Amino acid sequence: MSAPLAVAPWPSTSGTKITAVRTFLTAPQGSPYLIVRVETDQPGLYGLGCASDPQRTLAVKSVVDDYLGPMVLGRDPGDIEDLHRLLLNSGYWRGGSIAGNALAGVDVALWDLKAKAAGVPLYSLLGGRVREAADAYTHVDGASASEIAEGVEAAAEKGFRHVRVQVSVPGTDTYGTGGTDPELAHARNARWDSLAYLHHVPGVLREVRSKIPAGLELLHDAHERLTPAQALRLLPMLAEVDLFFLEDVLAPEDADYFPQLRNSSSIPLAMGELFHDVKQFLPLLRDRAIDFARIRIPTLGGLTPVRKLVAACELAGVLIAPHGPGDVSPLGHAANLALDVSSPAFGVQEAATLREGTLEVFPGTPVPERGALRPSAAPGLGVDFDEAAAAKYPPPEPGVHDRWALLRAADGSAQRP
């Protein structure tokens, strides 16, 4: 064990000490995963966390390896609150997604470790279960209402009651779809056209609703690509779709407009996956301006701040809908699930379709069964990490995976992805 950078302020109560903090890069899902493992002087006792930021992976890795990891060596891993505050304050200019992801990797690993040491599932440390399983939503996209409706019905046959639907717009890039021109989509040469989106997508969604059985919940993601004025135009166009929620209709920079949107429409609004500080949610909770908080545990700094945010959501009457895409590792999904089954504020959980390689690298990964995710009874997160299997899936070079975010608008200007 290397010499610790900071002396423990009090004696260890458990007798356990952190001996190493290691990071691993792997990409069985295509997107780079950054995994953090906190090791101890107790044989076989370690914790795992997800620090995955697909656009700034190597920067996050450096923060963990060169700065945060050395600071916790020799410390009792059970002092999670103190360690979180210590690591947070160690960057004098606090905050940001890079620091948040790095901090979250260590933080979630400490929670995993603490639950393993206690011999209980992580949700037991969060107050225990309040539900048997977490309803999940899957994703369907297509170029026509008939194609999308068929996909929704196929998802319903698998047990999903909640489905996010995205619509390809001819000749333009549209988030969450394969695109009408696969070659353009692969090359990232298609551009975003907000007017084409507003003229095309609402009508297709209304037709999808008319074609599917009653009782199925539809979700849609605008993915921060609209201006406030365009968002106000969109809401009445979607009134007949009866959405479960409309996600990210505005960018974080425009979040102050959410009360205006709330006053103009009864469509449930979801927001937050792009936030990097739990305090960004507070004005929206105070004003009851959103209905669902889209929480991304890695970017927000881990379970230590997020569990407090979830309690605030419960008090404000806002439900949580944690972010669970393919660029969050199964360790992050398992952390989501621990919150989902332990919080009365749970609404719905995003479920990614994971590849066989991902399941190989992360034994114990939760997967939907009849449209719901059920937590493991194993100690900790219930998900492990196979280092040998991970080595078979090297991450892409920086800039390769990032191309999805290099979007241009119809006039050639840089566009939010």
162-167 and 134-142 as β-strands: parallel, antiparallel, unpaired?
parallel
**Interior/surface letters 156-177, b for 16+ CB within 10 angstroms, e for the rest:** beeebbbbbbbbbbebbbbbbb
> Catalytic annotation on 223?
yes
User: In whole angstroms, what is the distance from residue 70 CA to residue 79 CA?
Assistant: 16
Q: Which residues contact 21 (CB under 8 A, 6 or more apart)?
A: 36, 37, 38, 39, 64, 65, 68, 69, 70, 72, 73, 106, 109
User: In whole angstroms, what is the distance from residue 168 CA to residue 171 CA?
Assistant: 9
List of E strands, 66-175: 134-142, 162-167
> Catalytic annotation on 323?
no
3-state secondary structure of 104: helix
* Tokens found for residue 399: 């800039």
Q: Which of 162, 223, 276, 401 is catalytic?
A: 223
Torsion of CA 163, 169, 172, 177, to 10 degrees: 20
Identify the sign of the CA torsion 397, 403, 406, 412: positive
Catalytic amino acids? 175, 223
